[in-house]
């Protein structure tokens, strides 16, 4: 599927367009698909600014939805929206639940998850009015390039600690169970979602959850580096039992992850090593 990609950002870097330009481009018919990845905070940051997402992210999403509805009501080619939500909107699982699927109620714990759930509600309301939109509840993507000063996710933090021979800080006792999806598999899934023009809510997960202590051991096996681990208190907003079914998405688009977690970690480690070079 050939397409011209435009990146809009609140803080444009070279090659990006200012986010304020997006409504104008939509009205002029320059944009046919919107992939909404823009969010002002990561989960930990959200807890430090309780109302930040309600001041910034949700109003901006509301403005975008108004523009999409306006364009579609004028008889122009409808714009498709793909919103990157989070599996955290389901809240806390337990050992009795095999996995969350799209029929499970949402019970978000942290402020980040609560804001994502509120965003979903806004989009679902517009879907009922005819908007062509897909909500993807994504688990923990990894393997994509990140700046060393703004690492997001436990896997980049583990790789950084291994490369720099630094102590890795682990929240809680390490029993928390998480699902991780390799970014290339995520991109393939999104491309298929666009090609099939899906509408509605879908989980996007690997289906391979692992305890944090076991993840640390796996990274040590792959890297051959013994990590010093320091435990810090558990974060109350962080989901401890996260298992998610992506069967609905797999059935709809014929997608399955191409890499196991171990294979994805190996690729990630190789990429990190080539980017940063050997540790001194």
* Residue 77 DSSP symbol: P
Residue pair 76/127 in contact by the 8 Å Cβ criterion: no
Q: Which residue has the higher pLDDT, 76 or 200?
A: 200
Residue 97 has pLDDT above 80, yes or no: no
What phi and psi, each to the nearest 5 degrees, are found at residue 50? Answer: -55, -35
Q: Which residue do the tokens 């970690």 mark?
A: 265
- Describe the strand order of the beta sheet including 200-204 as a list of residue ranges: 33-36, 80-86, 132-138, 200-204
Intra-chain end-to-end CA distance of the chain, in Å? 44
Domains detected in the chain: 8-276 (3.40.50.720)
160-171 mean pLDDT: 90
Phi, psi of 108 (to 5 degrees): -65, 145
pLDDT at residue 123 greater than cutoff 70: yes
Q: What is the mean pLDDT of residues 220-232?
A: 93
Alpha helices in the chain (DSSP H): 22-27, 43-46, 52-55, 57-73, 111-128, 154-164, 183-196, 212-223, 247-253, 261-276
Q: What percent of the chain has pLDDT over 70?
A: 93
**Alpha-carbon Rg for the chain in angstroms:** 19
């Amino acid at each position: 599927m050939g397409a011209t990609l435009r990146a809009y950002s609140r803080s444009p870097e070279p090659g990006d367009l200012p986010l304020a330009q997006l409504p104008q481009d939509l009205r002029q018919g320059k944009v046919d698909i919107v992939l909404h990845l823009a969010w002002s905070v990561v989960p930990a940051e959200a807890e430090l600014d309780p109302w930040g997402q309600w001041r910034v992210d949700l109003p901006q999403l509301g403005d975008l939805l108004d523009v999409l509805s306006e364009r579609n009501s004028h008889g122009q080619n409808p714009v498709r929206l793909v919103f990157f939500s989070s599996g955290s909107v389901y809240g806390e699982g337990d050992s009795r639940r095999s996995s969350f699927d799209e029929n499970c109620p949402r019970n978000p714990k942290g402020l980040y998850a609560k804001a994502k759930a509120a965003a979903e509600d806004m989009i679902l309301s517009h879907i009922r009015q005819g908007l062509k939109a897909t909500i993807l509840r994504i688990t923990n993507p990894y393997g994509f390039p990140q700046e060393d000063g703004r690492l997001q996710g436990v896997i980049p933090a583990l790789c950084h600690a291994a490369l720099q021979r630094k102590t890795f800080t682990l929240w809680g006792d390490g029993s928390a169970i998480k699902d991780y999806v390799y970014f290339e598999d995520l991109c393939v899934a999104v491309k298929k979602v666009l090609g099939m023009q899906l509408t509605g809510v879908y989980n996007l997960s690997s289906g391979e959850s692992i305890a944090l202590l076991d993840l640390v051991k796996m990274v040590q096996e792959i890297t051959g580096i013994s990590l010093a681990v320091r435990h810090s208190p558990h974060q109350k907003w962080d989901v401890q039992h996260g298992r998610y079914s992506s069967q609905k998405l797999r059935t709809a688009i014929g997608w399955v992850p191409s890499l196991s977690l171990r294979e994805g970690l190996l690729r990630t480690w190789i990429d990190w090593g080539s980017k940063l070079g050997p540790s001194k």
